[in-house]
Amino acid sequence: MLPDLAQIEKKALQLLESVQDEASLEAWRIANLGRSSLLMLVFDQLGKLAKDERPVVGRRANEVKRALESAFSDRSNTLHETALQHSLQAERLDITLPGRAIPHGRLHPATISLRTAIRAFADMGFQVYRSPEVDTDEYNFGLLNMPPDHPARDMWDTFFTSMPNVSLRPHTSPGQIHVMRQYAPEPIRAILPGMCYRYEQINARKETQFYQLEVLAVGKNISLGDLKGTVSDFARRIFGQKIRTRFRASYFPFTEPSAEYDFECLLCNGKGCIVCAGTGWLEIGGCGMVHPIVLKNGGYDPAEFSGFAAGLGTERIMMLKHHIDDIRYFWSNDMRFLEQF
């Protein structure tokens, strides 16, 4: 019996050395320490041995069992350690790399500009009224004192649609009729902001689409002084107390008298540059006292009511504030421009 045990131990330890993974280690354990292994067979047969042989073989068998168990445990630890090192190397994570920045959305500069203007008028007590971007010929022109064939229609290079008498609004003025018809004969102090569209020759000062904001006040005893005061106050709220404004007599079919108003060009401080076309003034918009016919079309009696209206292109505010010399930047989707705001 004794030589057998030495043989069992030697062979088992030899086999263990070639074990390289957890699965073959488990197979080795079953074969050499399992219930039907040669070693366990020795324990099973102890009873059949002579009385004096029993303690000797039993002690030796226990020694072999402990030796194999210890070797198994060592091998298991070694394999585990190797597997760990391997996975640490293979799945190495470099936590020193800087994280990826999450891109945050932000407001478009044209929206910032529009909201700046809306806020200034809101502080003066004006309420926002929204009107359609696509409107009928009647609202875009007719009710604003421009019947069909009126030559003043040529002042707006309009985008017409395939539907007869429907066009993209070339200005926010049709909103005047909408708001008046909704609230007549109540007094009105409203702003009508929104996108306008014109079939323009695009250049540094003109785009085919732009935000416009219409200002409308209708009530009793509203005068040209109220108009000038409101426009000038708006300029000061946006650009500070020093900004100069000027009014030039002009013509619009829906106001009488009519004027255009300019803010001093902040890009060149009035000296003249490409944006102000060398004049030192930047044309902001048109204004005037609401024409009696327009008041009447809106549902107000011109003998009793008067009103003023003014329009402005709000991108111009952003251009003045940030010294932007080309209006085309707003809608050309150049990230280098947009990311600056």
- Give me 158's structure tokens: 């309009």
Q: Count of H helices and E strands in the chain?
A: 11, 9
Residues 46, 95: Cα–Cα separation, whole Å: 60
109 burial via Cβ count (<10 Å: 0-12, 13-18, 19+): buried
The residues, any chain, with a CB within 8 Å of residue 235's CB and separated by 6 or more, are: 243, 245, 263
- Whose Cβ is closer to Zn ion: residue 185's or residue 272's? 272
Q: Is 273 one of the binding residues for Zn ion (CB under 5 A)? A: yes
DSSP state letter for 329: G
Interface region with Zn ion, contact rule CB under 5 A, candidates 29-37, 79-87, 124-132, 266-274: 266-274
As measured in angstroms, the least distance from the Cβ of 237 to Zn ion is: 21
Angle between helices 38-45 and 22-33 (to 10 degrees): 20
* d(C-alpha 283, C-alpha 263), whole Å: 7
Rounded to a whole number of angstroms, the minimum distance from the CB of residue 240 to Zn ion is: 17
Stretch that binds Zn ion, among 122-130, 224-232, 263-271, 326-334 (CB under 5 A): 263-271
- 93-112 residues near Zn ion, rule: CB under 5 A: none
3-state secondary structure of 62: helix
Binding status of residue 265 toward Zn ion by CB under 5 A: yes
- Dihedral (Cα; 93, 96, 100, 106), 10-degree rounding: 150
Give the residue with the Cβ less far from Zn ion, 265 or 318.
265
Cα Rg, the chain, nearest whole Å: 45
Kindly state whether residue 267 participates in binding Zn ion, applying the rule CB under 5 A.
yes
- The answer to the question of residue 179 lying near Zn ion (CB under 5 A) is no
Q: Does 276 bind Zn ion (CB under 5 A)?
A: yes
CB of 210 to Zn ion, least distance (A): 19
When asked if residue 268 is in the footprint of Zn ion (CB under 5 A), the reply is yes
Name the residue nearer to Zn ion (CB basis): 217 or 268: 268
What the block records as the tokens of 170 is 């070339």
Residues in contact with Zn ion, counted by CB under 5 A, come to a total of 5
Instruction: Specify the stretch interacting with Zn ion by CB under 5 A; choose among 200-208, 245-253, 268-276, 312-320.
Output: 268-276
Per-residue contact string for residues 57-96; x = within reach of Zn ion by CB under 5 A: ----------------------------------------
Choice between 133 and 326, CB closer to Zn ion: 326
Residues making contact with Zn ion (CB under 5 A): 265, 267-268, 273, 276
